[in-house]
Amino acid sequence: MSLTISLSPDEVERGFRTLGLPCRFGAEERATRAPTDIVASGIRILAFPTPIDNAALTLSYIKSVGRSGTPKQLSIFDHAWHAQEAFMHTPCPPGWHFIHMDILQESVNQPINYLSRIIPLGWTLPSAIEVVLMLFLRYLTSAEQLLTRKHTWCSDPASLGRFVTVGAFGKNGVFISAHPTGYVSRGLGICPKVAS
């Protein structure tokens, strides 16, 4: 049985408005975008589209638009090192995103190269912006907070040869960190993205 939860463009746009993001779907995108069948027995996956109008779908923009009346948890915890990192300014690519809502248990306490074990399953690492959008959209549509005690490895490289991790989503927002490729922790694993 598939446990995929699919958000419509309308649901995503409502979430974007709450977050202060001006991105909208065009009429053609609304008419043609539909999730493909994802067979993932027993795995919780959140499927959500992002529009071609994606210039504001960056972590730096989300971080900068904190809106009054928006719950504090819908923010990115502030770290000075984020400002100059390329991943903060990279827009989320348009299209559908299928991301596991939970950390793969077997990936916990594994370095980033655990990725080589999940690629044959048709999975890969999500980008940091995809994970943040998943966390915020899921919270806005269901009030469920994901990754409250864990971080997921992300595909984004950071300075000093590190890779980005996202998680610890709580009342003060979401944490974005970076760790060397060999780093392991009981609080770190992988929320895979279904490779397209």
Quick one: how many helices (H) and strands (E) in the chain? 5, 9
Question: How does pLDDT run across 105-140, given as a tens digit for each residue?
Answer: 999 999 999 999 999 999 999 999 999 999 999 999
Residues in the chain: 196
- Condensed to tens digits (0 to 9), the pLDDT of residues 53-73 reads 999 999 999 988 865 556 667
* Helix, strand, coil percent content, the chain, rounded in steps of 5: 30, 25, 40
Look up residue 34 and give its two tokens.
């539909």
Measured distance CA(73)–CA(40) in Å, rounded: 29
